[in-house]
Structure 1
Amino acid sequence: MFQKKKQKLHKDDITVIDTQTAKKAVVATGLGNAMEWFDFGIYSYLAVTIGKVFFSELDGPLQLVYTFATFAAAFLVRPIGGMFFGMLGDRLGRKKVLAITLVIMALSTLSIGLIPSYASIGMTAPILLLVARLVQGFSTGGEYSGAMTFIAESTPDKKRGTLASGLEVGTLIGYIAGSGIVTLLTYMLGSDKMMDWGWRIPFLIAAPIGLIGFYLRSHLEESPAFEAMEKTKEGENKHVSMKDILIYHRKPLLVGMILVLFYNVADYMVLSYMPSHLSAVLGYGETKGLLLILIVMFIMIPIVLMMGRFSDRIGAKRIIQGGLVGLILLSIPAFLMIGSGNNWLVFLGLIILAVFLASFQGTMPALLPSLFFTDVRYGALAITYNISASLFGGTTPLVLAWLIDFTANRMMPAYYLIVACLIGIVVVAIFVKETSGKPLRGSPPAVEHEKEIEGVLKESSDSLWWKEEKMEIDEQKG
């Protein structure tokens, strides 16, 4: 962090990031993220089965509503976990906290696979399921925001979008692994054995995956941006409090919440809710619905990476705006195709939604951390991401299941998505500043090669683009 008196950028201020180290950070963080979304994914893909196992006293659509209510309950504690782990990450460092959250996530997921059914222990079963989901939610509160922060701070400025998009590739791999295992087990075991004991297998797999992820994360180096900031604080106690974040960084907090709103509504609708929509609402066989989503996610991987690469060239803001316009115009046609009953049209409808979701996945991991200064980035991002995800992301499957049950209108998901994107396009156009290729707020420039340093020094005013914002915050503090 630069002191207020420092007016000029010096050679020693510029961080040279080794590309191989950056790629290692992306792989380790992305794999850990894959493990997290494997845990969340298998719950979503087994929603119908879980409803029968833990809510067998209920009938029909209500089983799905209660299953997704338990899914959504975890998001109630995400902001608490985000505040706890976020503030801890700004004090102790990014990598330590990321290792801790991964272990908690793995253990809570493992415990779900060990809970007896409602038929065995009655109401105790759904209560234990709820407790396990709450622990999952608490750990996840510090997981994704920490992963975004770590990758954004560990990559060169001009490749931040390209490398940070790898985090969402991890998300897709986790979902693919989850859906693939559930699909394979459903095909091999059949519905009866799957409901009896087969559904437990994916949850039990979480333990060894968690150990692998913990090993990879514990062997990472701390992010260069955090280390550079800590060096300027030697002998001082200048850690920012929660009160300071809420008072002096409220604008980016609010902007971030809107970005996360439409991002999570699209994300959880396509990846979490859609398998149940295809089977429980449209009457597709469980295996067919899961297989369609699995194929779509495979196709999304190169698209996400392409969006990340393009964001470094033309800017993340433009790509996000394109995705918002696309969903506003094509959500209704896409859901008409999905509800048509024709396999090819269903697939095409899913692909339309997936392509525009990929425009968010390829850009958000780089854009969201850039909203905040380095000394508050983990904590502030954890707050903004998890509050918004709790209100609008994790509740999306529950709200959609309820809306369809209440209105008997299968097009409700399309209308819900359009409203979220209309809000998003206004906020992105007015309040989001393009930061692709620029240094993160509060951090010196980060380059890939030493030969780039001279060019950066010649454009030092652009490199310190965030300086006026920082001075305004310092003046407010007095």
Structure 2
Amino acid sequence: MAQATTAATGRRAADSRRARKAVIAGGIGNFIEWYDYGVYAALSPVLSKLFFPAADPVTSTLASFAVFGVGFVVRPLGGLFFGQLGDRRGRRTALGLALIMVSLSTFAMGLLPTYSQIGLFAPLLLVALRLIQGFSAGGEWTGSATLMVENAADGRRGWVASWQQFSVIVGQLAGILIVTVITNAWSEQVLRDWAWRLPFLVALALGAVGFYIRFRMEDTPHFQELQKRDIVAEAPTRESLRAQRRAMATAFLFVALPNVGFYTFLTYMPTFLNQEGGLPLSDAYTINLVGMAIYAVLTPVVGRLSDRFGRRPMLIAHAVGFLVLAFPIYLLLAQGSFALALAMQLPALLLMSLYAGPGTAAITEMFPTRLRYSALALPYNLSSALFGGTAPFVSTWLIATFHTPLAPAFYTMVVAVPTLVVYLRLRETAHEPLRDA
């Protein structure tokens, strides 16, 4: 009896160590990926003037966010490539390559000449680098989600997978934090002259550390089991499109609202508070920073709760909450009050955490190990391209077209409807083992 207890304790300890390694290895790439997104979005008022000079500030802002969205256009292609690679050669191989690509392209952005130096070639080079970043992002999120879920013990997948979304949030938080620091440390002129480059250049060192961590880790136990049984998929994307169509359609709508919420309430919010609320950029960044810190803390807590109470109740509350509260939240954010905008971060990001906690585990659990990377990558990245990458641009365009800062609220509410339908019809998977084949 004592030996059995000791063996069980040893297995739990080994499972816990493996999960921690997966969280670190998977999280480092997400951190860098969304660190860049946070830096780019936070610096968009500066980058729009450096790379897209125009007499009308709205035109410059639209151009800047259009380039932000360009990276999402190629994410489905990246998802196809990395999903195929990850299901055939292993998660570690695909994630290592994705990390190299995003680190080098982010670093290169910090070396770019501006429009005043080389004219039209400056925005073209910016677009090219955003395309590389977007392509690598197509394999990063789904690969790290797969890595973490497949290394987690049954009954703890929500907790472990929530750290995947935590790394996304902290990456953006770090990006916004460094922009906030340099914005407050130097004048706007110094920021435009050279200081804007600093956040991008940091990515090279981060990438080197991440690459080292990932290539020291073994592939997941579930993928290794497929290799032992010699049932690794030869054509995972083709097989997924044949056998997983319904689950893939569900996954596409599953992340529609979370994408809109993430890229408006977090990525776009400093620009919104500055342009529509009239707050100084430094105040807008500070509010965003506090909100993201709250979001980061809430996400693992909700993830752990989803292991106990299930994924569905929290996901449904996420969608219903945005249907009911999006309008009053945006109404109060646009009032131009620092205190009011800061206060509105809590309900908005509490609603976001109701997805961020259980969402990664829930969407990954839809698919079998044999096809998980490929089957998840395509719908997730298509939805991110359609709803996520376009959200800042669409929000800016809607406000300019309808002349109301409340336009993004209505957009959020419209997208919440199909996502809510999916959540209501979702099968609860929190208490089931992962399927391998």
TM-score tier, shorter chain, comes to over 0.9
Structure 2: distance between partners of 1:202 and 1:288: 19
Judge conservation of contact 1:101–1:140 (CA < 8 Å) in 2.
Answer: yes
Q: Which structure has the greater CA radius of gyration?
A: 1
Amino acid in the other structure paired with 1:21: R
Q: 5+ unaligned residues in a row in structure 2: which ranges? A: 1-10
Matching residue of 1:54? 51
Matching residue of 2:435? 441
Matching residue of 1:26? 23
Matching residue of 1:395? 390
Structure 2: distance between partners of 1:102 and 1:376: 22
* Aligned: 1:380 with 2:370: no
Judge conservation of contact 1:404–1:410 (CA < 8 Å) in 2.
Answer: yes
Judge conservation of contact 1:32–1:217 (CA < 8 Å) in 2.
Answer: no
Moved more, 149-158 or 26-35: 26-35
Matching residue of 2:268? 273
Per the TM alignment, residue 46 of structure 1 is displaced from its structure 2 partner at its CA by 0.4
Structure 1: distance between partners of 2:233 and 2:387: 34
Q: Which runs of 4+ in 1 moved over 6 A?
A: none
Per the TM alignment, residue 364 of structure 1 is displaced from its structure 2 partner at its CA by 1.3
Per the TM alignment, residue 16 of structure 1 is displaced from its structure 2 partner at its CA by 9.8
* Aligned: 1:343 with 2:338: yes
Greater share of helix residues, 1 or 2? Answer: 2
1:277–1:226 Cα change, 3 Å: same
Amino acid in the other structure paired with 1:104: M
- Three-state SS of the structure 2 residue aligned to 1:320 is helix
- Three-state SS of the structure 2 residue aligned to 1:368 is helix
Amino acid in the other structure paired with 2:422: V
Correspondence 1:45-84 to 2 at 5 A: 45-84=42-81
Amino acid in the other structure paired with 1:103: I
Of the three residues 120, 126, 130, the one matched with 2:127 is: 130
* Aligned: 1:284 with 2:253: no
Moved more, 106-115 or 23-32: 23-32
Per the TM alignment, residue 15 of structure 1 is displaced from its structure 2 partner at its CA by 11
Amino acid in the other structure paired with 2:119: G
Correspondence 1:323-334 to 2 at 5 A: 323-334=318-329
Structure 2: distance between partners of 1:237 and 1:96: 15
Q: Deviations over 1:324-360 (max 9, x none)?
A: 1111111111111111222222112222111100111
Per the TM alignment, residue 58 of structure 1 is displaced from its structure 2 partner at its CA by 4.6
Q: 5+ unaligned residues in a row in structure 1: which ranges? A: 1-13, 444-478
Judge conservation of contact 1:239–1:375 (CA < 8 Å) in 2.
Answer: no
Q: TM-score of the superposition, structure 2-length normalised?
A: 0.95
* Aligned: 1:264 with 2:277: no
Correspondence 1:72-151 to 2 at 5 A: 72-151=69-148
Structure 2: distance between partners of 1:423 and 1:260: 10
Q: CA RMSD in A?
A: 1.5
Structure 1: distance between partners of 2:432 and 2:138: 28
Per the TM alignment, residue 237 of structure 1 is displaced from its structure 2 partner at its CA by 6.9
Matching residue of 1:360? 355
Q: TM-score of the superposition, structure 1-length normalised?
A: 0.87
Per the TM alignment, residue 323 of structure 1 is displaced from its structure 2 partner at its CA by 1.2
Judge conservation of contact 1:334–1:348 (CA < 8 Å) in 2.
Answer: no
Of the three residues 235, 243, 247, the one matched with 1:240 is: 235
Structure 1: distance between partners of 2:319 and 2:256: 12
Matching residue of 2:301? 306
Structure 1: distance between partners of 2:405 and 2:348: 16
- Three-state SS of the structure 2 residue aligned to 1:363 is helix
Correspondence 1:191-270 to 2 at 5 A: 191-233=188-230, 238-270=233-265
1:181–1:320 Cα change, 3 Å: same
Per the TM alignment, residue 59 of structure 1 is displaced from its structure 2 partner at its CA by 2.2
Amino acid in the other structure paired with 1:298: A
Q: Deviations over 1:116-173 (max 9, x none)?
A: 1101100000000000000000111000000101101000110000111111111121
Structure 1: distance between partners of 2:277 and 2:335: 9
Matching residue of 2:165? 168
Judge conservation of contact 1:61–1:280 (CA < 8 Å) in 2.
Answer: no
Structure 2: distance between partners of 1:242 and 1:26: 26
Amino acid in the other structure paired with 1:62: T
Per the TM alignment, residue 214 of structure 1 is displaced from its structure 2 partner at its CA by 0.9
Per the TM alignment, residue 406 of structure 1 is displaced from its structure 2 partner at its CA by 1.0
Structure 1: distance between partners of 2:13 and 2:242: 33
Amino acid in the other structure paired with 1:439: P
Judge conservation of contact 2:299–2:354 (CA < 8 Å) in 1.
Answer: yes
Q: Deviations over 1:283-312 (max 9, x none)?
A: 211110001110111112221111101100
- Three-state SS of the structure 1 residue aligned to 2:421 is helix
* Aligned: 1:293 with 2:288: yes
Structure 1: distance between partners of 2:180 and 2:129: 24
Judge conservation of contact 1:17–1:154 (CA < 8 Å) in 2.
Answer: no
Judge conservation of contact 1:15–1:224 (CA < 8 Å) in 2.
Answer: no
Identity of aligned residues (%): 36
Per the TM alignment, residue 275 of structure 1 is displaced from its structure 2 partner at its CA by 1.1
